[in-house]
Structure 1
Amino acid sequence: MRRANLEKLKNAADKQQVQQHLNDSICSITTATTDVQKYWHSLKQCIQETTETMLGHQAPKKKQLWMTQHILDQMSEQRIYKNNNWEKYKEMQQKIREEIRKAKEKWMGEQYKQEKLDNWTNYIHKLFGAARTPAEKDQQVPEEALHILTSEVEYAIKTAKSGKACGPDTVHVELLKQLDIDNIRQLTNWYNQVYNSNNIPSDWLQSIFVAIPKKATSRKCKDYRLLSLMSHVLKVFLKVIQQRICCTCKNALKNTQFGFCKGLGTREAIFGLQILLQRCYEHQEEVYICFIDYEKAFDSVDHNRLATQLKQLGLDKNDINFIIALYWNQTAQLWYNNELTDPIPIQKGVRQGCPLSPILFNIYSEQIFDQTLADKNIGIKVNGQYINNIRYANDTALVADSEQDLQQILDEVAAEGQIWGLRINKKKTKVMKVSRTPSNTTIKLGNEKLEQVHRYKYLGGLIDDQLNHEVEIKSRIEQARQAITKWKTLLADRNLNTRLKLRTLKCYIWSILLYGVETWTLTTVTTKRLVAFEMWLYQRMLKIPWTAKITNAQVLQDMGTDRQLLKTIISRKCNYLGHIARNDHKYQLLQQILQGKIEGKKLPGRPKTTWLSNIKTWLQLTTAQTLHAVLDRDQYHREVAPAVSQH
């Protein structure tokens, strides 16, 4: 039985019309009749007619959230055939069941999608929300502020990376690269208006977050890295600002920071730590290391403290005011499942993908180590100076010569980090002891004991507590072996030119194999393993089965080449030594680690193979002769050439 639409009676105008119509209808019934049944029939007819005419029937209500009006209409139609046409009734029943299944699936998918978006929105609110005080801009901007030059903008556009996703304004950097000098000059004039007024375009204040999983099994929001898609026009502008402030900011950093500094990289950080461990091991000095992992380091930067740091550095006031205006008014939307969330205010953190973020984070985090480790006589003593940390941005390794000293500096760094909003992840922070006499450690963070490991992957390179360098080389070989499967079809194609296949091999396989090769220490075993792997690659390219009896000489002849892998390794290691030795200012810390005096005594007998002993053996020189030869670049290259050609 269909219910009348009584909701209309809640509306005053509709209610008055219903009353008027009903009362007029009832008045027309003659009251003279004494026939009770006849009167009742007339009264009922008046009420029913008023209901049909003035109110109508209420649409069927959905008892389930997934129910659709189309299904309800079909169910109403089905009832008509229940007693009249059984075949038609069954046919419609089957259709309705199929519609219900699809409606349920669609509704559940939408609910899941919306729930995911809500979870991400709440996560971002929690991650980037902070009790931030209003920005304090410096009102005393000098009258003769340094204007942005056309040459600066031209350089920023020229060096911008192509193939990057565009931001909310949908402007691609490739189109900016098509501007002629007159339009670049016009763009520069507009940049100066923005720079001097801090009237930032709204598109510059918006960014789009893209969630990138940190690992294949990522399930929770915290297991993703949020990259910011920003306006490329803004990126060009920020590139100009970066070039202006980089020298001042670089001078404020200690030489133990290798992250995002010109001429430095992960290779230098790995090299510094590896050589320091080798030299201490050689002199029977124990080394205790704590590999610190910060929780969402880039997303935890306090904007007020950052602004204070920039002012203390003495940067140009226009630069500071622009950075403040940009960071205090920014919002972000998350792109997830082809949908955008509502704009979310960003009240802390530096955007991953912004040209300024690396240098701003370095300046921010430097204060933690400056407050706790500067001028502290704790660490590894080299040439009378203490080295107690090696850093690449937020990837930090604390080093000390005793467990007590490491515990002390870890406690101080952790406490200062809490003040600055950088919390240490206890589960991912590890401890290692490098010593000839291995033993367990009891390093704690708070009340929780940190896990001691025998191997740790630091910046992509494996660190072993017994300095077993074969572990790292075997790991690189295995990664290269897995990569070869992606290129197997191309590299084994007999229709392709061999020279082209060799170039492809070096570009896509050797780049994986030889990551950090400058820091490797080769032994007889690892050398043979590398040579064997190179021959294995050539055999795969020639489709030679493992059962075939063929000499390596024949394989090389068929490939039209000789052994190149070992020559490449020797050349890169020797050239890297010269690169370090001839740049006193940039690599002062690495020179100190490589050549400085380490306390302790060497054991008698045959020494363990070291990084420097590799080069001495190849060049057939003593330590003093090698370190003297590298200072003359041309003479050193003449020494290296025969060593490379012999292998």
Structure 2
Amino acid sequence: MSTTLSIRLKRASKIYHEGEIIVGVVVVESSADVRHEGLALLLEGSAALQLSNKNTGIFDAFSNNLKPINLINTAIELAPAGKIPAGVTEIPFEMPLQARGPPSPGCPGLLETYHGVFVNITYTLKCSMKRSFLNKPLNTTCQFFVQYRPIAKARRCDMRRYNCKRIQDAIEQNKGSKVFARDRSVRQTLLTQLKTNTGNTVSSVPEILGEIERFYGQLYTTTQNPITSGAHDSRAPLTRHYTEDIPDVSLDEISIALKQLKNNKAPGDDGITTELLKAGGRPILIALRRLFNSVILEGTSPEAWSRSVVTLFFKKGNKALLKNYRPIALLSHVYKLFSRVITNRLEQRLDDFQPPEQAGFRKGYSTIDHIHTLRQVIQKTEEYNLPLCLAFVDYEKAFDSIELWAMLQSLQRCHIDYRYIEVLRCMYNAATMSVRLHEHSTKPIQLQRGVRQGDVISPKLFTCALEDVFKLVEWKRLGINVNGEYISHLRFADDIVIMAETLEELGEMLTDLNDASKQVGLKMNMDKTKVMSNEHVSSSPVTVGGVTIEVVDQYPYLGQVIRLGKSNFDKEVARRIQLGWAAFGKLRHIFTENIPQCLKTKVFNQCVLPVMTYGAETWCFTKGLIHKLRVAQRAMERAMLGVSLRDRIRNEEIRRRTKVTDIAKRISTLKWQWAGHVARRADDRWSRKVLEWRPRVGKRRVGRPPTRWSDDLRKQEAPLLKPVRCEITPATIRAGDAGAGAARNIPPFQVYAEIDSTVCALDKPITGKIRVDSCSARIKSLELQLVRVETVGGAEGYSRDATEIQNIQVGCGDTRRARDLPLHLVLPRLFTCPTTTTVYFKIEFELNIAVIFEDDHLVTENFPILLLRSK
């Protein structure tokens, strides 16, 4: 017969405070009936078991002479003498944490003090079962911690301050929601077994490493030999281009590139981090300059630059299939810095050789460009009853399968200096990778094709090679006719959508693209490539390479669900609400935590609202869609405040407490910003062409026309088109940073000014009015000035230079009070409106209203304006 005792406390943390009640059960497990003489529960402890960090010095001072003081708080009888049946028996108990006697003033009864300092104590619960003299008694123990309340309160306050600081730092650095996760460690799925290509399953580490070597060795082995240009090849011939002299890498170049690298990134095999390079200062920059110049001139690179360590992360699907894991490569940060320097030199030339159909990894482009273009094509064809067929192309591991020679040849066609190409060829020919698994690594695997993951120049190399592929297909008269120009496809890196008027034409275009892609190692994934068409297209199967492409009703393209026909935004709005709740759920521990509401508001505006409004610039809204989004936002706000609909709190009061940005206002702002962005563009992008497109064929249906994208803009008045008013007084001057000292010598005055709009056009005058309400001194002149402000940045910071373009006199002499004077500024005839804006150079315009007194005192008010070529 075997009998065991155990104590199980209800509180899992086992941390209590004086005055609380310990609740738990004593578990008796026996294979037969047990007779006993009684069960008793005893509480005991020792004053020398645990000390806080602040009291370690006191403990050290007494460590030689201090003897543990045994404390007995109370003892209770759990069960009298009797019999416990066989099996598992639970005996509940409750024991109050009472003091041994009347506690002294200011001293808890369960906590000992040394020199007036409270010491937390670990106590022990001991359960004893007395048995007959023939059987030994059974004992079991369980420890718990009695904590001093002020210490616990300080710990909670410290944790609250830490969480607030972490959230505040993340918001100030514009980081995403991943920073707020409770577990900040990288969650890596352990790879315990793999399926081989023969169908067998391996589970030992050597066999798994061998399968990984075979899989990636086969993946990165070249499969296509370089092709020669044919007679019908429209691409530029392969020639070696040399400039007169490649400039040496300067310290400013390295400094700018170093600022572009992100911190808190895992280092490569050499262990050098970006933070270490930034902390090195000028000596490190000089050493790096010497190294980078030698690499460019000699065409050889250090061996550490060619090695990369790869970690596998599970994506989705079957965990035993290696293709369902994403390899994350860790490169040398010194190599990444060198690659950034080279990319900064070649980026502009590589972008110039890209057509407007390619929006991936280009400055000034985003996913919204192609989403807006595609949605406009869908809306126009639906309104005018035109046929439309779409094919969404997916490549199998596109970035890993593109041939190296194809990328280098495309650089030659972009007229890149051949010495840069030789440097890239040298580094890519020597590139290897080793996969790390369970503290083991595979043998180095040679990378014969594909771009290097984590390399900043890799996206540019891929898009450059993909452009060469599209030059092999003849699609000049295929696609959708937009005002005489044909739009046949859109590209965002390897995300491609092809457009056609018939399914037969679409099948021919897919076949041409498939044949051209195979020549450079790219393989279309027929399982993920989809086709859709509207109701004006005759149904027929689309076959590519003997495989019939699946026809679908909707497809997620660049994060947006694309559908054909009417009401194609309902699914996307519902999906945005669902994704918004998912983002809110991931951060629920922040929204329900005891932190200031202002931080919760910032987290919501920064991490949840962008998810719900992604792509909203391209939507056509109705009152019903706006209502759905507002209902979802109000539900999230109630969850943040911990209230429900039963509390019957008005929406205005909830918004007053949360102070979050209204989702409808945010969408309106985004749409107006995007409209201004499209209006200012003059680089022949499709986003503007399809917006101005009015099909000359096709016939609209009888009745009310469908809601267009521009209808929302016509219904609402743009915020920038509203009049801007200001009041100029000595008080407003003192409130500013400039002119506060001079304002003390200016007599009391009050001037009112108004500009009709801060969005102005070159072919229209700038209008407004100015009025002097009161002034104790005589006014010499009232003037309106147009100023051009140039902001130039460099290694030492930013500088602003203001140049006056035009100045007109509104009023001469001491003007009459309380009388409106019109403002009418006609721009110079030969004046041009530059639109150059880069990271280190920006041109802006301002209107200055100047009030000049007879003693030559000058006060001004500035109005930043936006100048357009046409309005």
TM, length-normalised to structure 1? 0.75
Q: Could you tell me which residue of structure 2 aligns to residue 184 of structure 1?
A: 285
**C-alpha RMSD of the superposition:** 2.8
**Shift of residue 155, structure 1, vs aligned partner:** 0.6
Any gaps of 5 or more consecutive residues in structure 1?
1-104, 622-627, 636-647
**Shift of residue 534, structure 1, vs aligned partner:** 1.4
Q: Could you tell me which residue of structure 1 aligns to residue 665 of structure 2?
A: 567
**Shift of residue 503, structure 1, vs aligned partner:** 0.7
Residues 85-123 of structure 1, C-alpha deviations (whole Å, 9 max, x = no match): xxxxxxxxxxxxxxxxxxxx9xxx995222221111100
Please state whether the residue corresponding to 2:449 is helix, strand or coil. coil
Q: Could you tell me which residue of structure 2 aligns to residue 462 of structure 1?
A: 561
Any gaps of 5 or more consecutive residues in structure 2?
1-191, 193-200, 227-237, 720-756, 768-871
- Aligned counterpart for 1:408 among listed residues 501, 508, 515: 508
- Aligned counterpart for 1:606 among listed residues 704, 717, 721: 704
- Do residues 477 (structure 1) and 574 (structure 2) align? no
d(CA) in 2 for partners of 1:228, 1:218: 20
Q: Which amino acid in 1 is paired with 2:305?
A: W
Residues 149-171 of structure 1, C-alpha deviations (whole Å, 9 max, x = no match): 22111110011111221111111
**Shift of residue 631, structure 1, vs aligned partner:** 7.1
**5 Å matches for 1:115-130?**
115-130=207-222
d(CA) in 1 for partners of 2:465, 2:471: 11
Residues 540-596 of structure 1, C-alpha deviations (whole Å, 9 max, x = no match): 11111243333222322343x3761111110011111101110212x6221111112
**Residue 138 of structure 1 contacts residue 317 of structure 1 at CA under 8 Å; is this kept in 2?**
no
d(CA) in 2 for partners of 1:414, 1:138: 27
Count residues in correspondence.
Answer: 517
d(CA) in 2 for partners of 1:538, 1:213: 34
Please state whether the residue corresponding to 1:611 is helix, strand or coil. coil
After superposing the two structures, state which structure 1 stretch, 453-462 or 502-511, moved more: 502-511
Q: Which amino acid in 1 is paired with 2:362?
A: C
Q: Could you tell me which residue of structure 1 aligns to residue 592 of structure 2?
A: 492
Please state whether the residue corresponding to 2:351 is helix, strand or coil. helix
Q: 1:618 to 1:363 in 2, by over 3 A?
A: same
Please state whether the residue corresponding to 1:351 is helix, strand or coil. coil
Q: 1:502 to 1:248 in 2, by over 3 A?
A: same
Q: 1:454 to 1:111 in 2, by over 3 A?
A: closer
**5 Å matches for 1:92-131?**
112-130=204-222
**5 Å matches for 1:231-310?**
231-310=332-411
The structure where strand makes up a greater share of residues is 2
- Do residues 165 (structure 1) and 266 (structure 2) align? yes
Q: Which amino acid in 2 is paired with 1:553?
A: E
Q: Which amino acid in 2 is paired with 1:507?
A: Q
d(CA) in 1 for partners of 2:637, 2:243: 66
Q: Which amino acid in 2 is paired with 1:595?
A: E
Please state whether the residue corresponding to 2:668 is helix, strand or coil. helix
Q: Could you tell me which residue of structure 2 aligns to residue 207 of structure 1?
A: 308
**Residue 616 of structure 2 contacts residue 670 of structure 2 at CA under 8 Å; is this kept in 1?**
yes
Q: Which amino acid in 2 is paired with 1:486?
A: K
After superposing the two structures, state which structure 1 stretch, 333-342 or 347-356, moved more: 333-342
Q: 1:427 to 1:266 in 2, by over 3 A?
A: same
- Aligned counterpart for 1:357 among listed residues 441, 450, 458: 458
**Shift of residue 212, structure 1, vs aligned partner:** 3.0
**5 Å matches for 1:507-586?**
507-559=606-658, 561=659, 564-585=662-683
**Shift of residue 632, structure 1, vs aligned partner:** 4.4
Residues 148-205 of structure 1, C-alpha deviations (whole Å, 9 max, x = no match): 1221111100111112211111111111111323431332122101211122100001
**Shift of residue 518, structure 1, vs aligned partner:** 1.7
d(CA) in 2 for partners of 1:178, 1:416: 48
**Residue 220 of structure 2 contacts residue 448 of structure 2 at CA under 8 Å; is this kept in 1?**
yes
Q: 1:337 to 1:441 in 2, by over 3 A?
A: farther
- Aligned counterpart for 2:424 among listed residues 323, 331, 337: 323
Residues 15-61 of structure 1, C-alpha deviations (whole Å, 9 max, x = no match): xxxxxxxxxxxxxxxxxxxxxxxxxxxxxxxxxxxxxxxxxxxxxxx
Please state whether the residue corresponding to 1:509 is helix, strand or coil. helix
Q: 1:156 to 1:486 in 2, by over 3 A?
A: same
d(CA) in 2 for partners of 1:432, 1:454: 6
Q: 1:562 to 1:115 in 2, by over 3 A?
A: closer
**Residue 578 of structure 1 contacts residue 630 of structure 1 at CA under 8 Å; is this kept in 2?**
no
Please state whether the residue corresponding to 1:372 is helix, strand or coil. coil
Q: Could you tell me which residue of structure 2 aligns to residue 625 of structure 1?
A: none
**Shift of residue 307, structure 1, vs aligned partner:** 1.9
Q: 1:281 to 1:156 in 2, by over 3 A?
A: same
Q: 1:189 to 1:505 in 2, by over 3 A?
A: same
**Residue 227 of structure 1 contacts residue 351 of structure 1 at CA under 8 Å; is this kept in 2?**
no
**Shift of residue 274, structure 1, vs aligned partner:** 1.2
Q: Could you tell me which residue of structure 2 aligns to residue 368 of structure 1?
A: 469
**Shift of residue 353, structure 1, vs aligned partner:** 1.2
Q: Which amino acid in 2 is paired with 1:602?
A: R
Q: 1:501 to 1:242 in 2, by over 3 A?
A: same
- Aligned counterpart for 2:294 among listed residues 183, 193, 205: 193
Please state whether the residue corresponding to 1:207 is helix, strand or coil. strand
Q: Could you tell me which residue of structure 2 aligns to residue 146 of structure 1?
A: 247
**5 Å matches for 1:389-428?**
389-428=489-528
d(CA) in 2 for partners of 1:131, 1:529: 52
**Shift of residue 439, structure 1, vs aligned partner:** 6.3
Please state whether the residue corresponding to 2:506 is helix, strand or coil. helix
**Residue 377 of structure 1 contacts residue 386 of structure 1 at CA under 8 Å; is this kept in 2?**
yes
Q: Which amino acid in 2 is paired with 1:257?
A: Q
Q: Could you tell me which residue of structure 2 aligns to residue 87 of structure 1?
A: none
TM, length-normalised to structure 2? 0.56
d(CA) in 1 for partners of 2:613, 2:660: 18
d(CA) in 2 for partners of 1:140, 1:281: 48
Q: Which amino acid in 1 is paired with 2:315?
A: K
d(CA) in 2 for partners of 1:138, 1:415: 25
Q: Could you tell me which residue of structure 2 aligns to residue 314 of structure 1?
A: 415
Indicate the percent of aligned positions where both proteins have the same amino acid.
28
d(CA) in 2 for partners of 1:334, 1:224: 12
Q: 1:617 to 1:481 in 2, by over 3 A?
A: same
d(CA) in 2 for partners of 1:508, 1:217: 31
Q: 1:140 to 1:502 in 2, by over 3 A?
A: closer
d(CA) in 2 for partners of 1:293, 1:131: 19
Please state whether the residue corresponding to 1:177 is helix, strand or coil. helix
**Shift of residue 213, structure 1, vs aligned partner:** 2.8
- Aligned counterpart for 1:387 among listed residues 468, 487, 495: 487
**Residue 535 of structure 1 contacts residue 552 of structure 1 at CA under 8 Å; is this kept in 2?**
yes
Q: 1:212 to 1:111 in 2, by over 3 A?
A: closer
d(CA) in 2 for partners of 1:153, 1:583: 32
Q: 1:298 to 1:563 in 2, by over 3 A?
A: closer
d(CA) in 1 for partners of 2:387, 2:313: 40
**Residue 267 of structure 2 contacts residue 331 of structure 2 at CA under 8 Å; is this kept in 1?**
yes
Q: 1:318 to 1:387 in 2, by over 3 A?
A: same
The structure where helix makes up a greater share of residues is 1
**Shift of residue 250, structure 1, vs aligned partner:** 1.2
**Residue 605 of structure 2 contacts residue 660 of structure 2 at CA under 8 Å; is this kept in 1?**
no
**Residue 317 of structure 2 contacts residue 324 of structure 2 at CA under 8 Å; is this kept in 1?**
no
d(CA) in 1 for partners of 2:704, 2:459: 45
Residues 488-532 of structure 1, C-alpha deviations (whole Å, 9 max, x = no match): 232133x42222211111122112212222222211111100111
**5 Å matches for 1:617-632?**
617-619=715-717, 632=761
Please state whether the residue corresponding to 1:432 is helix, strand or coil. strand
Please state whether the residue corresponding to 2:326 is helix, strand or coil. strand
Q: Could you tell me which residue of structure 1 aligns to residue 40 of structure 2?
A: none
